[in-house]
Structure 1
């Protein structure tokens, strides 16, 4: 049975996906077992996130969704519990949910700044795009900056941006995501985000998900494994 910590990490992630869509003027929908969006989400964001291990009901809802419109569909299988191949999906990637129950702040030479204006967000996006490549469709919008439970953060050394990320506070945990940095700064940036989470949302656990080298780096920073996830893709 899934731990309450894992369930909180999943709920936090679904909230973040919904917040992105809501800020674009098109929120998703929640059921007891699934968060989903009928009309399509921005790049890098799934069309559905499973919230429980209730396989049958979720598969039926996903089948209904993909039959409603012919386009690409991405599903975040939060418990790595679904077999969506019979519906025409292919496994895009596997990853691990991670958590840190008691984040600890560490001293760092990095100076952090929270993005508060449209100009700040444009600077953050420009730096984020260097790591993720250009994106033609809008993802991050100014309403997100007005939510005290969401923080866009940019780290500087000697006045120059070296990386950043996003924190979101929901379900009693703080999600950290969209971490970006030059290779030699990645661990510095992740530890800096941990410190920012401690400062902005004291005594709250930290969660997220990673894979590959980024997962190894997160474990070195003090995160623990919470459970596997899968992302499935069905192309139009």
Structure 2
């Protein structure tokens, strides 16, 4: 099912809120939430868009008027793959699908693995980012994130205590969903979903994936709910 219905809108809103959290964590200040899009006037942290559309009928001006299009690496997350930005100095970077997993869906078995736990300290967060980045951390996840009530950084550990898997989960209240991003590790969904069920019981889970990662999410009880496209500036 790829109809860009209410769960796609919920996922887009949750993702925009997470992008806004990252901007504030990096000292860039809050972005602007409009009826049709979230935008930020300053260049956002690496891997994070300068705008996210929140509804399928968002127009080009809803995103381009609120961002710094001159900044290198400027990007737009077209949350419903409905915009054409080719005439405005952008080109498609990749397409993906929003995903949704009902709150009542059964949690996959952990098969003996240790439960994932929240990261609590700056040192643990640094170790988490090192694992997430395959040993090439860049300070993308500031320790101030650990104090954000809507954000939880989850870590899965090997028997020797090393962080070998993880994710960031972000909670939204309108509607009530938990979003997953920055998922990594070998078959990470069982550990991630078990932790979400324990920490945020009764909340649906949303996010987005593409390629083999989308296939894995669908195998673990998610449904694809609508397309999205990320555009990047060619300037």
When normalised by structure 1's length, the TM-score is 0.89
> How much has 1:157 moved relative to structure 2?
2.9
Q: Report deviation, 1:2.
A: 4.0
Q: Any idea what the Cα deviations from partners look like across 1:162-209, whole Å, max 9, x if unmatched?
A: 21111111131000110111xxx2x2x111101111111001000010
- Counterpart of 2:117 in structure 1 is 113
Assess, with a 3 A threshold, how the Cα gap between structure 1 residues 31 and 157 changes in structure 2: closer, same or farther: same
CA–CA distance in 2 between the matches of 1:178 and 1:19? 14
For residue 53 of structure 2, the aligned residue among 38, 50, 54 is 50
8 A contact 2:153–2:169 mirrored in 1? yes
**Hey, what does 1:193 align to over in structure 2?**
192
Which residue pairs with 2:72 in the alignment? 71
2:163 matched to which residue of 1? Answer: 161
1:21 aligns with 2:23: yes
Query: What TM-score results when the alignment is normalised by the length of structure 2?
Result: 0.89
Q: Cα RMSD over matched residues?
A: 1.8
Q: Determine whether 1:175 maps to 2:179.
A: yes
Question: Given that residues 129 and 137 in structure 2 are in contact (C-alpha distance below 8 angstroms), is that contact kept between their aligned partners in structure 1?
Answer: no
Q: 1:93 to 1:8 in 2, by over 3 A?
A: same
- Flag the structure with higher helix content: 1
1:1-236 → structure 2 map (5 Å cutoff): 2-26=4-28, 27-56=30-59, 59-65=60-66, 69-102=70-103, 103-108=105-110, 109-111=112-114, 112-130=116-134, 134=136, 136=138, 138-159=139-160, 160-170=162-172, 171=174, 172-181=176-185, 185=186, 187=187, 189-236=188-235
- Paired residues, number: 226
Cα offsets for 1:18-74 (capped at 9, x unmatched): 001111122211111111111101111101000112233xx1243435676353310
Contact 2:40 2:67 in 1 (8 A): no
Unaligned runs of at least 5 residues, structure 1: none
SS of equivalent to 2:81: coil
Structure-1 separation of matches of 2:64 and 2:221: 39
Q: Secondary structure at the match of 2:84?
A: coil
Unaligned runs of 5+ in 2: none
For 1:74 and 1:68, locate their aligned partners in 2 and report how far apart those are by CA, in whole Å.
8
